[in-house]
Amino acid sequence: MLNKRIHLYIVSALLSAPTALFAQICPAPPIPIWSGEGGVPTGYGNRKVFLSPNQHSITIPWPNPDGTETKRRFNLHNDIDPNLRVQIEDTSSGFRYTYHLENGKQSKDSLNSFNLAIYPDTETQAEAEL
C-alpha cells in the first residue's frame, strides 16, 4: 500500500510539473509585438504581421490601391481561461484518473480541444467517457 501511495504522489507531481516548467521556459513569440497604434515602429524591417501586447490578436498593415495602408486586426480566438482538475484514485485494479476541464467565466473564446500525452505502456488500459 505504501508503494502505491508513493507512486500516486510521484504521478501527481509529474502531471503538475510540466505546466509550471513550460510557463518558465516558454520563449518569446516569434512575431514582433506592436499595439497597432501609430506607425509601425522602426527596426522591424519589412515585417507585416504583428502580435498585440495581450497576444489575442494580430495586426497587419494592409496596402490600399492609393499607396496608403490600413491596419487590419484579426482575433486569434485564444482568450480562454481553462481550469483542469485531476483526480487520481487508487483502485484494486490500478489507478483511475478523472479529468474535469472547464472554461472560466472571464474567457471570451471556447475550448475546442484537449490533448493528453500518455507514456506508451503495454500494460496500460484506457477508457474514456464524454
Q: What confidence score (pLDDT) does residue 45 get?
A: 77
- On whether residue 98 sits in a domain, the answer given is no
pLDDT in tens, 37-49: 888 888 887 888 9
- On whether residue 97 sits in a domain, the answer given is no
Expressed as residue numbers, the domain containing 39 is 31-76
Q: What confidence score (pLDDT) does residue 49 get?
A: 93
- On whether residue 13 sits in a domain, the answer given is no
- On whether residue 14 sits in a domain, the answer given is no
How many residues in total does the chain contain? 130
- On whether residue 106 sits in a domain, the answer given is no
For the chain, the domain total comes to: 1
